[in-house]
């Protein structure tokens, strides 16, 4: 099948590459000329494990192409994916200007029937708006389908190629047949394609992300209470996660969720509720809980140093919002580092992938270490912000020689309390006794 993907951000690039891998002829279109040049020269602008292998194979074999020209890119395409940004506007609602602009353009240039697919996370009612904008000038028949994407950064390829489910919002039988054919290689293990109307599909995506944000925030609240009552949140997690109604995943307490999706989507769903005069109380609480959780360790750090961080050197392990990505959008690390700097501390940070991105934001305000151990040299304490696997089983003996004090503030509960006690560390974590 010939398909086009408009927008080569995270979702667009993964969608295009994976559909090329399943044998389709894919053209990705982006208005950013520099990005398209890079992609045409084999340079992938994001870090995503496994993407390079598929990208290289499919570009080399001619199934994956890039262009800045919309008309050229969609020529002959049976399916046109819209994977465009929907940044939050000032009021928190998703801004649809990019999507609607392309919809308007498509109406003018489409020469044959095509299925236009909303892949980005878009508010309820967007498919209808896209249809309206295309209709303004369209001379051919077309269908608009909502097909939200559920991939996670860091495991995007696996999530895309083996989705738990594929959600397709459309009432058009013609579009259903085409989408079923396109997704057939990804649902061979019996993972379902769930058909529904467009509005329900759009809502499903927000419901999924918001529910996961609720799950995490609920555990963060339990963790905070555990600290007060003297219980251990890791045991609670194991105790409740084994109940299949609750499930094991997304129950890890920490310093809050970040990234480009949960914060934006929870906010956008809250905004939608407001527009429909519905008081969605849980969403408001989730946003409040997460904002508080992100800087939860700051007062603990402050208190440990008797309110005086001036001149103290703090080592930070982990800058990305989660492991296996270089993405620092809404990353708790940034907010914490800025607060530490404002309190007069010096920060030496290490992250295996995200340091270049942080340098764009913080420049020389912090020191970037070449290795996790180099970050510890002469530091007064270590703060852990991201659970990269390499931080889980470090050489404690080596750390001891570098750190000035054996003090760790762990925002991701990487170590066992007994182990830390035995090693003689002053160890602060989340939802467990100090």
Closer Cβ to ligand UGA, 257 or 425, answer by number: 257
Out of 38, 131, 152, 284, the only residue in the binding site for ligand UGA (CB under 6 A) is 152
Q: How far apart are CA 434 and CA 428, in angstroms?
A: 5
- Name the residue nearer to ligand UGA (CB basis): 70 or 223: 223
Q: Minimum CB separation from ligand UGA for residue 238, in Å? A: 13
Distance in angstroms (rounded) separating the CA atoms of residues 8 and 413: 35
Helix, strand, coil % over all residues of the chain, rounded to 5: 45, 15, 40
Catalytic: 226?
no
Q: Which stretch binds ligand UGA (CB under 6 A): 80-88, 144-152, 187-195, 342-350?
A: 144-152
Are 14 and 157 contacting, i.e. CB atoms less than 8 angstroms apart?
Answer: yes
Binding status of residue 252 toward ligand UGA by CB under 6 A: yes
**Exposed, middle or buried: residue 200 (CB in 10 Å: 0-12, 13-18, 19+)?**
middle
30 has binding-site annotation: yes
- How far, in Å, are 174, 263, 371, 429 from residue 177 at the CA level? 5, 35, 52, 52
**Separation of alpha carbons 85 and 120, rounded Å:** 7
Task: Catalogue the E-assigned strands of 197-246.
Answer: none
Q: How far is the CB of 217 from ligand UGA (least distance, A)?
A: 9
Establish whether 153 is an annotated binding residue: yes
- Half-sphere exposure of residue 43: CA atoms within 13 angstroms, side-chain side: 7
3-state secondary structure of 117: strand
Residue 257, SS3 per DSSP: coil
Stretch that binds ligand UGA, among 78-86, 100-108, 246-254, 423-431 (CB under 6 A): 246-254
Mask of contacts with ligand UGA, 190-209, x by CB under 6 A? Answer: -------------------x
Based on the shown chain and the rule CB under 6 A, indicate whether residue 149 belongs to the binding site for ligand UGA. Answer: yes
Interface map 313-332 toward ligand UGA (x if CB under 6 A): --------xx----------
Q: Exactly one of 18, 28, 226, 261 is catalytic; which is it?
A: 261
35 in a known ligand binding site = yes
- CA 270, CA 252: separation in Å to the nearest integer? 24
Binding ligand UGA (rule: CB under 6 A), the pick from 58, 121, 267, 413 is 121
By CB under 6 A, tell whether 176 contacts ligand UGA.
Answer: no
- Our CB check for ligand UGA shows the closer of 117 and 212 to be 212
d(CA 335, CA 226): 25
The answer to whether the annotation marks 50 as part of a ligand binding site is: no
Residue 190 annotated in ligand binding: no
Q: How far is the CB of 262 from ligand UGA (least distance, A)?
A: 5
Q: Is 350 helix (H, G, I), strand (E, B) or coil?
A: strand
Shortest spacing between CB 16 and ligand UGA, in angstroms: 16
The DSSP symbol for 189 reads T
For residue 374, give the DSSP letter. G
Specify the stretch interacting with ligand UGA by CB under 6 A; choose among 69-77, 86-94, 99-107, 148-156: 148-156
150 assigned binding-site residue: yes
Nearest to 133 by CA among 104, 97, 99: 104
Quote the tokens at residue 252.
Answer: 């890890």
Binding site residue list: 30, 35, 86, 121, 150-153, 205, 250-254, 258, 264, 322, 329
Residues catalogued as catalytic? 261
Binding residues (CB under 6 A) for ligand UGA: these are: 121, 149-153, 209, 212, 216, 250-252, 254, 257-259, 261-262, 321-322
């Amino acid at each position: 099948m010939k398909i086009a993907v408009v927008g080569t951000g995270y979702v667009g690039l993964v969608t295009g590459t994976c559909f090329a891998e399943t044998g389709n002829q894919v053209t990705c279109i982006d208005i950013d000329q520099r990005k398209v040049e890079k992609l045409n020269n084999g340079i992938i602008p994001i870090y995503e494990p496994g993407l390079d292998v598929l990208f290289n194979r499919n570009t080399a074999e001619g199934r994956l192409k890039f262009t800045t020209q919309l008309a050229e890119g969609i020529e002959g395409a049976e399916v046109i994916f819209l994977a465009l940004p929907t940044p939050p506007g000032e009021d928190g609602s998703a801004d649809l200007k990019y999507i609607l602009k392309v919809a308007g353009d498509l109406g003018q240039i489409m020469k044959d029937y095509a299925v236009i697919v909303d892949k980005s996370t878009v508010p309820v009612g967007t498919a209808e708006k896209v249809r309206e904008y295309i209709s303004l000038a369209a001379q051919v028949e077309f269908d608009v389908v909502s097909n939200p994407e559920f991939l996670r950064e860091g495991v995007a390829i696996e999530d895309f190629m083996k989705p738990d489910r594929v959600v397709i919002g459309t009432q058009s039988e013609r579009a259903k047949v085409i989408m079923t054919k396109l997704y057939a290689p990804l649902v061979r293990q019996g993972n379902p394609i769930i058909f529904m109307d467009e509005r329900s599909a759009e809502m499903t995506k927000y419901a999924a992300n918001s529910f996961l944000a609720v799950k995490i925030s609920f555990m963060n609240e339990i963790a905070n209470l555990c600290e007060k009552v003297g219980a251990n949140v890791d045991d609670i997690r194991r105790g409740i996660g084994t109940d299949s109604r609750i499930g094991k995943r997304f129950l890890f307490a920490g310093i809050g969720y970040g990234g480009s999706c949960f914060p934006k989507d929870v906010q956008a769903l809250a905004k939608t509720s407001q527009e429909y005069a519905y008081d969605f109380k849980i969403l408001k609480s989730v946003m409040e809980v997460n904002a508080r959780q992100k800087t939860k360790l700051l007062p603990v750090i402050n208190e440990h140093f008797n309110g005086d961080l001036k001149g103290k050197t703090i080592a930070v392990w982990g800058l990305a919002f989660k492991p296996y990505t270089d993405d620092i959008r809404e990353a708790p690390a940034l907010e914490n580092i800025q607060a530490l700097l404002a309190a007069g501390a010096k920060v030496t940070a290490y992250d295996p992938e995200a340091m270049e991105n942080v340098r764009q934001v913080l420049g020389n305000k912090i020191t970037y270490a070449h290795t996790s151990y180099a970050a510890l040299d002469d530091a007064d304490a270590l703060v852990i912000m991201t659970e990269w696997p390499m931080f889980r089983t470090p050489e404690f003996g080596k750390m001891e020689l570098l750190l000035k004090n054996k003090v760790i503030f762990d925002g991701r509960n990487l170590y066992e309390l007994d182990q830390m006690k035995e090693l003689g560390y002053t160890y602060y974590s989340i939802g467990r006794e100090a």
